[in-house]
Structure 1
Amino acid sequence: MKTDVILLRFGEIMLKGRNRARFENQMIQQIKRVLRPLPRAELLKESHGRMYVQLNGEDYEEAAVALGKVFGLSSFSPTVKAASELSALQNAVLQEMERQPAKPGTFKVSVRRVNKEFPYDTYEMHRLLGGHVLEHYPEIRVDVHDPEVELFVEIRNHESFVYSQKRPGPGGFPLGSNGKAMLMLSGGIDSPVAGWYAMKRGLRIEAVHFHSYPYTSERAKQKVVDLTRALADYAGSIHLHLVPFTEIQTRLKESCRDNLIITLMRRAMFRITEQIAHKRDALAIVTGESLGQVASQTLANMNVIGRAATLPVLRPLVMMDKQEIIPVAEQINTFNLSILPYEDCCTLFVPDSPSTNPSLKVVERQEQWMDWLPEAIREAVEKTELVLIKPDDKTDEDRLF
């Protein structure tokens, strides 16, 4: 579609009262970031708060794909911008009709009159604009109940907007508006989706991945880097913490009951993630856990494992099943990466019959016997590698030490 103006609509940030200006500023930063590859595009703000993008010749579809990755944006529309005058609005509704991919049989006009000083009321504008369309398209008719095309007209102080399409955005809150959290990122389907939902609710995330070299390969680590890169497409960049976990896993295998290995391993992971969170000023831990999906995700296990952390543990997918999670993974381009057949440290050393109903007292007593565990956790945190992942950046230039 050929257009030069995209009208933007925000969702829940409009309800934020005194914090609205802060949320809007964060939205503006994110929109400018995603539009950076389109240097001629400008983000503009109308006097009563409506924002729009002036493309100035940039491609609409490319801009639309970019805007579809801005959290807090509920929808947007390719729009005809016109002066707030009757003749200009009549010309604008004709332009919008001409942009339809197929000639409609029915239409309606829906007017929103924000400028109350406009000389015609809403009822008159329906008649004046609808009649103007019928003069130029006598073969079509008005259908106010189920039209093939609905022409939306927003009449504002100096500029008005006419559009007929609404393209959904991701919604939610602007990225970072609700703080920072650590995402426990495995190589599976669920945790990247959990990270996407966390970002949608306004959290800036840093990812924590546990690897067990040589039991897990460099390809498995690269898979997680690529998953982080897919999420970074929505955030601009994401820090990835790569935690060496081999020693802890092997010593757990040697020193504890087989049926408790998964529970104890996950508790160690939570403690490591929490220590990294304190260093990075994060206030929560995000996981991809889904209730009852595997042995470690029974309610009893989630209770015992979650008590290892003092920070809030956020589980966006806890009430979702795989049939609900997979379409989101496909939408955010992580599914094909997640199903690559590379090992994950969470699948190593899995006993034949892991406990699904562990006792917190028994688990804590087992940990007390493992006097080596606190030092092993401290060393794992110290040896964690930090990498800054950016979208479409295949280099290691941003590796930090």
Structure 2
Amino acid sequence: MNRVIILHPAELQLKRANRPFFERALMDNIRMRFPGTSVEVKKATGKFLVRHIDLGAVEVLKKIPGIANVCPAFTCEPTVEALKALVLAVAAEITKNTSFKIEATRSDKTFPLNSMQLAVDLGAVVVERYALPVDVHTPDVTIHIEVDKKEAYVYTQKFGGAGGLPTGTSGKVIALLSGGIDSPVASRMMMTRGCEVIGVHFQNFTAASTAVQDKVEQLTRVLAEHQGFMKTYSIPFGELQRRVVMTVPAEVRMLVYRRIMFLIAQHIARHEHAGGLVTGDSLGQVASQTLENIAAVRYGMELPILSPLVGVDKNYIMDQARRIGTYDISILPYDDCCSMFVAEHPETRATAHMIERALQSTNFGEDDIKQTLEQARVISF
């Protein structure tokens, strides 16, 4: 039996005039994941077909943004007799007393049976041959059939994909990676909105450098598995952090840290031709993420600051972190810069004027940004 992997796109059906652009981007992203192979990716009606690759590729394909589901399938001629033989071969692998149903679709409307007739007729053949029980509501196994003009497909496995839009179709963003649970999830979410994500991590001066570097590298590597590649700027924040501690009241230090980080990240964004910044902020989750503090810290920024987690709770974020493979790395011990040397009860209702006045007391400026970036280390996968 000939094999193929069927990919059903996620949101491409919503696109009209620009749909070919998104389809080409998705196919290019798939090919990029399998360098040095003879992988073949072709567009078919309502799906993409991947050939000349082993089934281990399913785990890679599941992570690629723009794909709704991944289905390892068998192929045959688009005839009733050929489908009957293939369905029986597939059903032969189903354990006795396992309930099943058949779902059929056909893009070729000249096929002699409609979708319902095809499902009923082939279901009857399976029952006659193997005496398997039918359950159309909650079957143990669903046999899927798709009939196109030139080929038909049969499969029983349907793995959920990343969904969203192909990476790179919505531009480029700079994500602030704290090393915690939230920011890697926010980064992954922006990937599925079509953004190419570049990370920026600010390293506090009290952390053991080897442990920090290892953690940031691990997070970058896992995110690269979803995007296909990943670059993270590791920024030494020690000198600026000392200056803030010496000149800024403890109640607003966290907010001044974040303001400085945004300004440095915005500089990197210009260099990388990125159109926005990304944070893992979730409204009300911590003191720096009150509505007033978010507004104060972001006031006057040139680029939009996107926070895809702003309306979700911590349990959802942790579940997503486990699903994408960053949770166990994120919980490794390490205090991010924003949690260092701040008040026990930090300011929760700051104003833009308050933050600007505190920032001015540090004498922070363009020269500081330049000097800090000269010491940056770039991690790439």
Please tell me the TM-score bracket, short chain as reference: over 0.9
TM-score (norm 1): 0.88
CA contact (8 A) 1:35 1:66 kept: no
Query: 2:75 aligned with 1:81, yes or no?
Result: yes
TM-score (norm 2): 0.93
Task: Give the match for residue 154 of structure 1.
Answer: 146
- Which of 332, 335, 347 is the equivalent residue of 2:339? 347
Summarize deviations over 1:34-77 as a string: whole Å, max 9, x none. 3347x35433333x353222246x2x2x1211111111110021
Task: Give the match for residue 385 of structure 1.
Answer: 377
- Which of 277, 287, 290 is the equivalent residue of 1:298? 290
CA 321–121 in structure 1, closer or farther in 2 if over 3 Å, else same: closer
User: In structure 1, how many angstroms separate the alpha carbons of the residues matched to 2:203 and 2:251?
Assistant: 21
User: In structure 2, how many angstroms separate the alpha carbons of the residues matched to 1:226 and 1:308?
Assistant: 34
Query: 2:41 aligned with 1:43, yes or no?
Result: yes
Task: Give the match for residue 169 of structure 1.
Answer: 161
Structure 2 residues without counterparts, runs of 5 or longer:
none
CA contact (8 A) 1:216 1:343 kept: no
User: In structure 2, how many angstroms separate the alpha carbons of the residues matched to 1:309 and 1:370?
Assistant: 19
Q: Percent identity?
A: 36
How far did residue 374 of structure 1 move? 4.2
CA 386–84 in structure 1, closer or farther in 2 if over 3 Å, else same: same
Summarize deviations over 1:198-217 as a string: whole Å, max 9, x none. 11111101111112335553
Query: 2:66 aligned with 1:72, yes or no?
Result: yes
How far did residue 180 of structure 1 move? 0.4
CA contact (8 A) 1:241 1:385 kept: yes
How far did residue 160 of structure 1 move? 0.9
Structure 1 residues without counterparts, runs of 5 or longer:
391-401
Query: 2:134 aligned with 1:135, yes or no?
Result: no
3-state SS of paired residue (1:18): coil
CA 141–227 in structure 1, closer or farther in 2 if over 3 Å, else same: closer
Aligned ranges 1:248-263 → 2 under 5 Å: 248-263=240-255
Task: Give the match for residue 183 of structure 1.
Answer: 175
Query: 2:240 aligned with 1:240, yes or no?
Result: no
How far did residue 104 of structure 1 move? 4.2
CA contact (8 A) 1:104 1:149 kept: no
User: In structure 2, how many angstroms separate the alpha carbons of the residues matched to 1:141 and 1:52?
Assistant: 32
Summarize deviations over 1:266-288 as a string: whole Å, max 9, x none. 11111111011011100010001
CA 120–72 in structure 1, closer or farther in 2 if over 3 Å, else same: same
Task: Give the match for residue 353 of structure 2.
Answer: 361
How large is the Cα RMSD of the aligned pairs? 2.2
Summarize deviations over 1:119-170 as a string: whole Å, max 9, x none. 3334543443233223312x23444344333322222111011223311111
How far did residue 367 of structure 1 move? 3.1
User: In structure 2, how many angstroms separate the alpha carbons of the residues matched to 1:366 and 1:148?
Assistant: 63
CA contact (8 A) 1:184 1:208 kept: yes
